[in-house]
Structure 1
Amino acid sequence: MSAQTIKGLTYPYPEPPGKGEWIEMARGVYWLQMALPMALDHINLYAIEDDDGWWVVDTGMKWGDTQERWKLLIEGPMAGKPLKGVVCTHMHPDHIGQAGWLCREYNAALYMSFGEYFTARALTQEDHAGADWRVIEHFTSAGVPFEQVQQMGRKFRGFGAIVEPMPGSYTRLTDGDSLAIGGRQWRVITGSGHSPEHVCLYSDEDKLILSGDQIIPRITSNVSVMPQEPEGNPLKRWLESLAYFIEQTHPDTLVMPAHNTPFYGIHTRLKALIDHHRGHLAAIEDACREPKSAVELFPVLFAREIGKDQLAIALGESIAHLHYLYAEGRLERQRDEQGVLRYRSVDPDHCPYAPADLTDEDVPMEV
């Protein structure tokens, strides 16, 4: 089922704000957009008015006219009150790219979770010319030819080039914390799987959530095993997080995501995301009646052919599903003579997951 046709989702604001503009989503909560240089060509950011200043949630990438757009807002409709706080939901470059500039330029404090802040610091300072043996093994054991791995050298670098230098200090956010902004209590709810410790802000009283990449209406967030943690099981954490958000939110919540458009139908979407991945797990179990590598499972997981630019994230997502099934005892694996890990189903005729059809949603998106 395509995300675009999921019943139960409604979009109260189908048109996004223009350059230097915003849309008020609820009292004192404003939606704005910045451009991105990728297939997913935008990020939604949010400004929250406080009694004595402004807070912003996510910042955009160090690219294009992002700073110009911020200046138009800060010197325009936000003028008269200082920027007090910058909340970054997680460590990906489109979310933290301008955090350092905003915090330095306007003397604002940075708010992030521990896992996201220090992962961001590590990946923005990393600038290796190549990769160590474990990173190379991550790709070759998944079935990527060694010659192709050598050509992917730039993929092993950190992303400091598209992120302003990170602030040297931050205020830590943890699950259950509360921020008092603009007459509301915003409760911190954290998830994992897309990133280490993703922060969302939830208003219980007004049923509002600033969801970052944790809940997006029309695409699925990338859930990948990364070379930095080659034996990770992020899909397990992701599925647990989706169930946790169902428990922690009201079904009538207005979701303000980092991509696509704000919507109602949070529980419908969360359940659809769970079903989406369970369908992939079922498809992999069936495909692995004969041993398969992560690369060989691309046609099972993705509706379109994977290009070179999408190889790393597609591979990460394929491995994430394999690791989940392997940890559950649904798959066994062996390394062949070429060093490639191949996975075989243990009991494919008694799979506990329901199958699902591939859709346009099954294209890896770097969000």
Structure 2
Amino acid sequence: MELSFIDKKIPAAGILQEVATGIFWLRMPLPFDLDHINLYLIEDNQAEQEGFALIDTGIGTQQTTDIWEKLLQTINKPITKVIVTHMHPDHIGMAGYLVEKFRIPFYMSHDEYFVGRAIAAGSRGASDWQDEQYLVRCGISTDDIATAKKNKKDSTGVGRVIKPIPLQYKRLKEGDTLAIGDNNWLVYIGRGHSPEHVCLYNAKTNILISGDHILLGISPNIGVYNTEPDANSLQQYLETLPQFMQLPENCLVLPSHKQPFYGLHTRVNELINHHHDHLDNLRDFCKKGKTIEQCLPVLFKRKLNSRNIFFAIAESFAHLNYLYFAGECSRELNAKGQFIFTLK
């Protein structure tokens, strides 16, 4: 089945666009190169109350808060439950605000909830020598490391764009069924982009809410970061993509970025092939030992700025760790403390 977009206008920030019966597409702005996130409101009418279940919440900024305040006055219905696919700030950022406002249940997977709590809390005084070691091992220059340290010192961290996370949550697990209104949504778990990413599928309406796990036009960032330098994130991602081939090919996919689309199987295969193409290129490039930073031009043809280079480094690390843990290349430290990956 060929990839195709739904025949619906992309909504402006804070405007609802119905994409299926009882399901509304909402966009919130982001202060990044990827300048938006898609949220979804699903009618959750119950005997005692009419309202909307919310999938993801937007980043926790004053701009997003203002949009939410205006929108809630417009729809004139309460939010009945907040469901967050994963712990990244653009998804969880406003969850605490909305849960507190409506005193409603908050749904996440176990790993996403507690990692979210941890990143919002910050380092709490822990030494940052391991952060610097991570950057050195990635092959980052001394000047760029100094800049990264300065930026971290000048920043209040991720917690500044995440409203206080609720102290209680309802756990979503693989294979669970979540009731929203008259429909049941089956929980699928994806890994690699985040620890335990929740996707939801409704067989009755043939709709998949894919979050960041399956996107059209871009690949989700699959990275190895300083918190777990021995992670095999790419293997986790590639292992949790094929399960979606079991769903109908013609299901409507509602992603967190870009546009809702049809052609699920085609897109899953494209994402798998995309990463295997990168791995093939790295196999050829690393016949002679290379640092993680030296591999960036193999994976990224666009110019990298100071904001996205660290995401690119993490993605390069993930692909090289995949080859390392598969036994295809060695990973050794050179005299500068940098990882050198060499094809065996």
TM-score (norm 2): 0.94
- 1:250-289 equivalent positions in 2, closer than 5 A: 250-289=248-287
Match of 1:25 among 19, 38, 42: 19
Which structure 2 segments of 5+ residues have no match? Answer: none
The one-letter code of the counterpart of 2:74 is: G
Match of 2:120 among 124, 149, 158: 124
Residue 305 in 1 paired to residue 303 in 2?
A: yes
The one-letter code of the counterpart of 2:93 is: G
The one-letter code of the counterpart of 1:121 is: R
- The 1-side partners of 2:342 and 2:204 are apart by 49
Which structure 1 segments of 5+ residues have no match? Answer: 1-6, 347-367
The one-letter code of the counterpart of 1:199 is: V
- 1:1-367 equivalent positions in 2, closer than 5 A: 8-13=2-7, 15-51=9-45, 52=49, 53-77=51-75, 79=76, 81-127=77-123, 132-153=128-149, 154-155=151-152, 158-247=157-246, 249-346=247-344
Cα-to-partner distance string for 1:48-100 (whole Å, 9 max, x where unaligned): 111233210000011242122222332222x2x43210000000000011001
The one-letter code of the counterpart of 1:214 is: H
Q: Is the 8 A contact 1:45 1:59 kept in 2?
A: yes
Q: 1:20, CA displacement in angstroms? A: 3.5
- The 2-side partners of 1:13 and 1:35 are apart by 22
Could you say if the C-alpha distance between residues 214 and 235 of structure 1 is closer, same or farther in structure 2, counting changes exceeding 3 Å? same
TM-score (norm 1): 0.88
- The 2-side partners of 1:183 and 1:35 are apart by 31
Q: Is the 8 A contact 1:127 1:158 kept in 2?
A: no
Q: Is the 8 A contact 1:28 1:182 kept in 2?
A: no
The one-letter code of the counterpart of 1:221 is: P
Q: Secondary structure at the match of 1:235?
A: helix
The one-letter code of the counterpart of 1:49 is: E
Name the stretch that deviates more: 68-77 or 289-298. 68-77
Identity over aligned residues, as a percent?
39
- The 1-side partners of 2:117 and 2:147 are apart by 26
Q: Is the 8 A contact 2:108 2:171 kept in 1?
A: yes
Q: Secondary structure at the match of 1:174?
A: coil
- The 1-side partners of 2:124 and 2:307 are apart by 19
- The 2-side partners of 1:191 and 1:232 are apart by 15
Name the stretch that deviates more: 256-265 or 104-113. 104-113
- The 2-side partners of 1:88 and 1:203 are apart by 17
